[in-house]
Amino acid sequence: MSGISSARGDLRIDHVTKSYGDFTAVNDLSLTIPEGSFFALLGPSGCGKTTTLRMVAGLEEPTKGTISLGNTDITFTKPYQRPINTVFQNYALFPHLTIFENIAFGLRRRGIKDVKEQVEKALDLVELSHLSARKPTQLSGGQQQRIALARAIVNRPALLLLDEPLGALDLKLRRQMQIELKWIQKEVGLTFVHVTHDQEEAMTMADTIAVMNEGEIEQLGSPADLYDNPKTAFVANFLGQSNLIKGTISGNDGDNHIVDLFGQKISLSKNRSHAVDNSILAGIRPEKFRISRLATPTSGNILSGGKIEDVSYIGVSTQYQVLMPWGQELMVFEQNDDGVAPFNVGEDVNISWEAGFTFALRGDEDAEAGTEVNPEEIIEDDE
Amino acid sequence: MMSKSGISNPRTPYLLLLPGIAFLFTFFIWPIANLAQTSTQTPIAGGDTGEYEQTLRWANYIDAFLENKEQFGRSFLYAAIATVVALAIAYPLAYAIAFKAGKFKNVLLVLVVAPFFTSFLLRTIAWKQILGEQGVVVPFLRDLHIIAPSTTLTSSAFAVVAGMTYNFLPFMTLPLYASIDRIDPRTLEASGDLYANGITTFRKVTLPLSMPGVVAGTLLTFIPAAGDYVNAAILGSPQTKMIGNVIESRFFKIVDYPTAAALSFTLMTAILVLVTVYIRKAGTEELV
């Protein structure tokens, strides 16, 4: 079939807004996804990530803004004219067709000649060649997921969209598929745009992650960037866990700020501060903390006066809740690798960490943002 | 103590089947056997009208068929046209109710079955008015010069087929709706995503997935339509007589029981054969 755009190149989403009546699902979103990258749109349900994906696929039309692929504007192009394929959340395999015909569907629509050969190659890639004569309902969830992937990849689209493709799989299979997807992306060299609410999934697979919240992008960067140097409390809490402590910048020392946290001084690298004035939220990831008994000498930033409130042993690490003198409970993950006897509830301890691990957010941010997202309270962004 | 679970008694399934079997035997198998017996009888020599004796005259079938070839052909032709027209009307309707109606879905479904709230006969007689000289349709078509001023629509093949199409439309619409409503709209999105335009998506995805409804709907329309005599009796003329009308008059007016019975059996067999071929062709077993 003719009429399919042959556009290639970076995907550019330019000031795109999508409203449904009074509800704005996506708000003035701008984003460039480089060709060949594995890109993740990460956010809680209702954040607009699926709507964004559907607009790229052509299943929804933006209210405002443009979407282009390379130099071609595809904002209002029909889905069947876009060189873009989607792996749907529930796979959406054709129940009346065999696995072979499911995968061949896109090739046949485009009038490709060597359908058989290409389908077999795609089946090989997902290691399910032996199932080509079956019907989708005869396959397990994990197998259907791979067929959905093969059905999209076989077309060599300029862009492959994955809408929570692993959501329906159990944890073990999900981990395995994450690694496999990443391998397949490298193998075929296509641009993958992956939508997920699972931060671990996004971090495992993507080169670049855009964290979305309420229709806007909170922060964009590599997984390590986002984790080590989050810009907002939402990102700090949504990607992993964070201890956020209210403080004030009280002085400078070369490249560092001196920060007053409830009367105790710590240091913070200036280029890791996203504060706009002296009032800040100092952030430290729980695994960066070290707990020490009062007599033990420590270096780096130190907060003293802690008391162990709770201990949970979880194998690779032990998780502590430490109550600080100002009434805040800090979370500390200690690796079980140093032979130090575990701390007991009620013990008086100090907490220390490498100064370089500290990050700082604006002091007026809600320290709880992104910690608890209840999907049932938010309108699903599917439709 | 008696067991609470009836399953433990091996006779329970048979006891549960008994009312159904008794009913079917009394009102289906027994009359059918009777009918079969009647179909090979001949008039008693010197007997009264309506008196017959069993002579196993199988030639009754041949005579009956040859005498009424025309009506047989007409029945299947009218039923086929009515089925195709009903399908053409019901498919878009069922599609719209399933996918586009939103909150009006249930209201529309009630409207589809609403005609059943009045009698089948009354509704058919109403069509006589609709298509009659005093109705809206005839003057309208005459004004537009679509039909000649002398042409009437009542007592015509058109009226009979129109009446059948109308009367059996819900039987077409409901199974179609049930079948289309079960289609996951995301498979249609997936089809568009995989380079199929609207028409191709309909041909390759929507239609194959709704085939169970198409098959069920066409059977539920065609079978009763082929044996129908009410529409032809009320809306037709002697030139539009269907096999149902012949059977009716043989049984109740001419009291020629053997011919009526032979015609009934021939009709049943013909429908059975047609339906079997149709289901084979439509390949419903391939549909999940």
CB contact under 8 A, A80 and B192: yes
Residue A209 and residue A220 in contact, taking contact as beta carbons nearer than 8 Å: yes
CATH number for the region B60-286 comes to 1.10.3720.10
pLDDT digits (tens, 9 = 90+) for A274-291: 988 899 999 999 999 999
**How many residue pairs from chains A and B have C-beta atoms closer than 8 A?**
72
| Total H helices, total E strands in chain B | 14, 2
Sketch the domain layout of chain B as residue ranges.
60-286
Residue of A105, A137, A139, A383 best to disrupt the B interface, most CBs of B under 10 A: A105
pLDDT at position A41 over 80: yes
Q: Which residues of B touch A59 (CB under 8 A)?
A: 189, 192-193
Rounded distance between C-alpha atoms, residue B156 and residue B138, angstroms: 13
pLDDT tens digits for range A92-119: 999 999 999 999 999 999 999 999 999 9
The least confident of A331-335, A372-376, B206-210 is: A372-376
Q: State whether residue B40 sits within 8 Å of chain A by CB.
A: no
Residue A370 phi/psi, 5° resolution?
80, 0
Chain B: closest CA distance from residue A362 (Å)? 43
**pLDDT score for A375:** 45
Q: At what angle do helices A171-188 and A115-125 cross, to 10 degrees?
A: 130
Q: What are the structural domains of chain A?
A: 11-228 (3.40.50.300), 241-362 (2.40.50.140)
Cβ contact, residue pair B288, A88, below 8 Å: no
Q: Check residue B94 and give its pLDDT.
A: 97
Region A68-84 average pLDDT: 93
- Tell me which chain A residue has its CA closest to the CA of residue B211: A96
Residues of A whose CB is below 8 A from B191: 94, 105
For chain B positions 198-217, those within 8 Å of chain A (CB to CB) are 200, 204-205, 208-209, 211
Residue of B nearest to A382 (CA): B186
Q: What is the mean pLDDT of chain B?
A: 90
Identity of the residue in A4, A92, A155 whose CB atom sits nearest the CB atom of B189? A92
Q: What is the reported pLDDT for B7?
A: 58
Q: What are phi and psi of B34, to 5 degrees?
A: -60, -45
> Looking at the complex, does the CB of residue A111 fall below 8 Å from at least one CB of chain B?
no
Q: How far is CA A219 from the centre of its chain?
A: 11
CA dihedral A200, A202, A203, A209 (to 10 degrees): -140
Whether pLDDT at B139 is above 60: yes
Q: Residue A64 — very low, low, confident or very high, per pLDDT cuts 50/70/90?
A: very high
Tell me the nearest-neighbour CA distance from A93 into chain B, angstroms. 6
Percent above pLDDT 70 for chain A? 95
Average pLDDT, chain A: 89
Q: Are the C-beta atoms of residues B171 and B79 closer than 8 Å to each other?
A: no
Strand partners, A312: A319
Q: How far is residue B87's CA from residue B176's CA, in Å, rounded to a whole number? A: 9
Query: pLDDT value at position B193?
Result: 95
Given the cut 0.95, state whether the ipTM is greater than it: no
Q: State the pLDDT confidence band at A48, using cuts at 50, 70 and 90.
A: very high
pLDDT > 90? residue B287: no
